[in-house]
Amino acid sequence: MKTTYREAMRAALRDAMQRDERVFLMGEDVGRYGGSFAVSLGLLEEFGPDRIRDTPLSESGFVGAGIGAALGGMRPVVEIMTVNFSLLALDQIINNAATLLHMSGGQFNVPIVIRMTTGAGRQLGAQHSHSLEGWYAHIPGLRILTPATLADARGMLWTALQDPDPVLIFEHGSLYNMAGDLDDDAGPVDVDKAALLRHADGTGESLTLITYGGTLPLVLAAADQLAEEGIDTDVIDLRTLRPLDTHTILDSVAGTHRAVVVDEGWRSGSISAEIAARICELAFFDLDAPVERVCSLEVPVPYAKHLEEAALPSVGRVMAAARRAVGANG
C-alpha cells in the first residue's frame, strides 16, 4: 500500500492502542490539534481523551507523569514536540527513567516510550534544529531508536512498548512527508540489528557507508552516484544507536576495508566518533584507509537556507569523503 512516514507512525500508534488497553499517548497538542506534525491526527476521536491526553507546556511535568504511569503498570507513549524541548526533561529522563531499575536493585522497571522529532534542514533556526540523539546514546539504561524507513516507522513502536526499560524514538522531521510502498501486513520489527540496505558486489573499489535517520536518503543517493564512478558501497542503516550493532559494522568493514560515517550531529563527541573508535579498536587491521566522518559543521544550525545547507551533511560531502577513502589506498 502507498503511505507516508507520518501515516506509518500513526498506524503504529493505532495498532498499539488496539492491541493493549494499557497503551496511551500524552504530550503537547497530541489530541485536538492532532500533533504538531499531524502524527496523532484523528486518534482523539477514535480512542477518546483518556487515552489521547493533551498536557500542559511542561516537559518535566508530563515526562515525569509518564514515568509514574509506567511504574504503575501502564504503557505510556510520551510525545515531546522537538528534541530541544527534551532538554527541559533531562532530569526525568536521565536521573529517573534511566536509573530507577539500577537504583531499586532490579525491583522497578520503567517501560516508557518517549517519541520526539529531531534534526535540521527545515529552516527552523538553531533552537529547533538539534540532532541530540547521540547525546542520549551516551546514557546506560536507555534504548535509542532512529527509524529511517517506512517499515521501521510502522514497526518500531510496538517492539519498543515490549521493552521493560525506557525507549527513546527519534523521528527526523524531514522524513514525515516521505512516501512509498509499505506491505499491507507490515508490523513489529527487530530493533537489535542494523540493516544492510545496499551490498557491494566485490568488483572495483568498495567502502562502507554508515548512517541513520534523516541522513539515510542522502547517503543512498550518494551511493547511487558513487556506483557510476566505479565505487561500490555497503550502506548500513544503524536503526538503533544504543545498543549499537557493532557486529554488522565490523562484518561490512572486513569486506570493504574502508568506512565513511555520516551523522547529522556535530563532529565533536558525536555518535560518529564512537563508531569510528570502535572500528579502529576492533577492525584496525581490516582498514586500508582512515575512517572518514561527515558531520554537521561546528556551528549553531543557521536559519538562512543556503547557510543551513552548507552546515549539514550533503550528497556532495559524502561523495568527497568516499573518494578520499578510496584515494588513500590508491
Q: What is the pLDDT along the chain (330 residues), one digit of tens a residue?
A: 999 999 999 999 999 999 999 999 999 999 999 999 999 999 999 999 999 999 999 999 999 999 999 999 999 999 999 999 999 999 999 999 999 999 999 999 999 999 999 999 999 999 999 999 999 999 999 999 999 999 999 999 999 999 999 999 999 999 999 999 999 888 999 999 999 999 988 777 899 999 999 999 999 999 999 999 999 999 999 999 999 999 999 999 999 999 999 999 999 999 999 999 999 999 999 999 999 999 999 999 999 999 999 999 999 999 999 999 999 554
Characterize 66-104 residue by residue with b for buried, 16 or more Cβ atoms within 10 angstroms of its Cβ, and e for exposed. Answer: bbebbbeebbbbbbbbbbbbbeebeebbbebbbbbbeee
Angle (CA) 126 129 133, round 5°: 125
Bridge partner list, 181: 2
Is 257 noted as a catalytic residue in this protein?
no
Q: Which of 59, 205, 264, 292 is catalytic?
A: 59
> Which letter does DSSP use for residue 302 in this model?
P
pTM of the complete model: 0.96
- pLDDT score of 93: 98
Q: What is the amino acid identity at position 62?
A: F
Residue 264: predicted pLDDT: 98
What domains appear along the chain, each with residue ranges and CATH number?
A: 2-181 (3.40.50.970), 195-327 (3.40.50.920)
Please tell me the predicted confidence (pLDDT) of residue 330: 44
> Residue 86: how many CA atoms within 13 Å on its side-chain side?
23
Known catalytic membership, residue 102:
no
Q: What is the pLDDT of residue 328?
A: 56
Q: Catalytic one among 7, 28, 79, 128?
A: 128
